[in-house]
């Protein structure tokens, strides 16, 4: 082969090698671009999934903790969104609370206005002894106020239940609870200041002197002396016989002559003596009357009464009863005099 032809062939081979090299570079470039595109697409999808998972987790407290490994950058937008949602919902809750407070104040004002007619008045003694035909419970708490009164009030609020408190003057440190109960829409009645059987049943004068004392205390809290009273031990008590024979016969007539009405009860919590919450629930849920006047105690130490109260409220609510505070038209329940 002549040298010229040899040179020509060598050049052709070199040109082909060069072409081959360029083709391979192009191929690599295309593959690299495609790979990069796939990775980028994967990253976008991955990020989108995590954002969704992160939002889902914020919305559902029961979501598995396994989703929590999202990077802080991905989590942030979701948290901001959640924070905004929380702020919006908190603002609307505040507005709702303000509305509720406004309507509650309105209700309290109108109740307060109406309730001044509960003042003792000899010309107007409550005397309706018939039930009102509607399942109603007049829940009454004796011997307070005490450290248990606020707990009772909070539970009553939870069940939207109204009650009546026959108060004493035994715990001056809790006398603010009388106004607190009244302002929350409950009725205040008188139970005597000292709740001392030996003192109050010593004589009629002793009884009325004590009744005046608790009347003044209540007046200083709510603005008037209420006409609703409950005798210590109820009107049927026989313990008074030990101090004055026939005093309940006399007192029951005289209180109404002075404008008061006394209320006994037809169902009891049985919490006059110390009992477990279970026993109280069993006793208190035995009422079947259309109108129930129910005896309970919010005195110091009546912790099992507080414990039993929600179950009793729920039980009667489920039975279709409404819990109301005593007013001038409520059923009057009298036991019968035994002394």
Contact positions vs Zn ion (CB under 5 A): 142-143, 232
Kindly tell me the sign of the dihedral angle through the C-alpha atoms of 83, 86, 92, 98: negative
Nearer to Zn ion, 78 or 293 (CB): 293
Residue 148 CB, shortest distance to Zn ion, in Å, is: 14
Query: Smallest gap, in angstroms, from Cβ of residue 200 to Zn ion?
Result: 11
Minimum distance, C-beta of residue 149 to Zn ion, in the bound complex (Å): 14
As to burial, measured by CB atoms within 10 angstroms (0-12 exposed, 13-18 middle, 19+ buried), residue 42 is exposed
| Strand duo 267-268 + 291-297: pairing | parallel
Q: How far is the CB of 142 from Zn ion (least distance, A)?
A: 4
CB-nearer residue toward Zn ion: 143 or 271 = 143
The vertex-260 CA angle with 255 and 261, nearest 5°, equals 95
For 179, 188, 212, 287, the CA distances from 226, given in Å and listed in that order, are: 13, 7, 11, 27
CB of 210 vs Zn ion, minimal distance in Å:
13
The token pair at 31 is: 């593959």
Give the number of other CB atoms < 10 A from CB of residue 264. 18
CB closer to Zn ion out of 75 and 248 = 248
N-to-C CA span, the chain: 151
Q: How many Å apart are CA 149 and CA 300, to the nearest integer?
A: 9
In the bound state with Zn ion, the residue whose beta carbon lies nearer, of 182 and 265, is 265
Pick 185 or 232: Cβ nearer Zn ion: 232
CB of 143 to Zn ion, least distance (A): 4
| Residue facing Zn ion at closest CB distance | 142
Closest CA to 210 of 163, 243, 181: 243
Nearest CB to Zn ion, comparing residues 111 and 309: 309
| Angle of helix 72-115 versus helix 176-183 axis, rounded to 10 | 100
CA nearest to 147, candidates 165, 175, 174, 176: 174
Whichever of 136 and 192 has its CB closer to Zn ion, that residue is 192
Residue 337: CB minimum distance to Zn ion, A: 18
CB atoms within 10 A of CB 39: 10
């Amino acid at each position: 082969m002549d040298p010229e032809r040899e040179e020509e062939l060598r050049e052709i081979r070199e040109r082909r090698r060069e072409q081959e090299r360029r083709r391979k570079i192009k191929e690599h470039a295309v593959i690299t671009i495609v790979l990069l595109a796939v990775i980028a697409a994967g990253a976008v999808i991955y990020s989108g999934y995590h954002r969704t998972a992160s939002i889902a987790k914020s919305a559902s407290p029961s979501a598995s903790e396994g989703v929590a490994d999202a990077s802080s950058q991905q989590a942030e937008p979701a948290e901001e969104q959640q924070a905004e949602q929380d702020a919006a919902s908190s603002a609307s809750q505040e507005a709702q609370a303000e509305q509720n407070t406004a309507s509650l104040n309105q209700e309290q004002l109108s109740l307060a206005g109406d309730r001044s007619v509960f003042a003792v008045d000899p010309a107007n003694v409550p005397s309706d002894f018939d039930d009102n035909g509607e399942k109603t419970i007049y829940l009454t708490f004796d011997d307070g106020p005490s450290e248990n009164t606020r707990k009772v009030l909070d539970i009553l609020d939870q069940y939207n239940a109204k009650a009546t408190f026959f108060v004493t003057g035994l715990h001056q440190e809790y006398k603010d609870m009388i106004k607190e109960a009244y302002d929350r829409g409950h009725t205040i009645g008188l139970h005597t200041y000292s709740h001392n059987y030996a003192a109050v049943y010593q004589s009629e004068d002793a009884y009325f002197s004590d009744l005046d004392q608790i009347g003044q205390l209540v007046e200083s809290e709510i603005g008037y002396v209420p006409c609703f009273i409950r005798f210590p031990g109820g009107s049927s008590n026989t313990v008074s016989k030990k101090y004055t024979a026939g005093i309940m016969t006399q007192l029951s007539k005289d209180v109404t002559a002075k404008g008061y009405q006394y209320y006994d009860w037809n169902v009891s919590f049985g919490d006059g003596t110390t009992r477990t919450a279970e026993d109280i629930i069993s006793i208190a849920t035995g009422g079947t009357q259309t109108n129930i006047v129910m005896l309970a105690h919010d005195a110091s130490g009546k912790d099992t009464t507080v414990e039993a109260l929600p179950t009793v409220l729920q039980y009667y609510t489920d039975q279709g009863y409404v819990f109301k505070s005593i007013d001038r038209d409520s059923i009057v329940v009298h036991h019968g005099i035994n002394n």
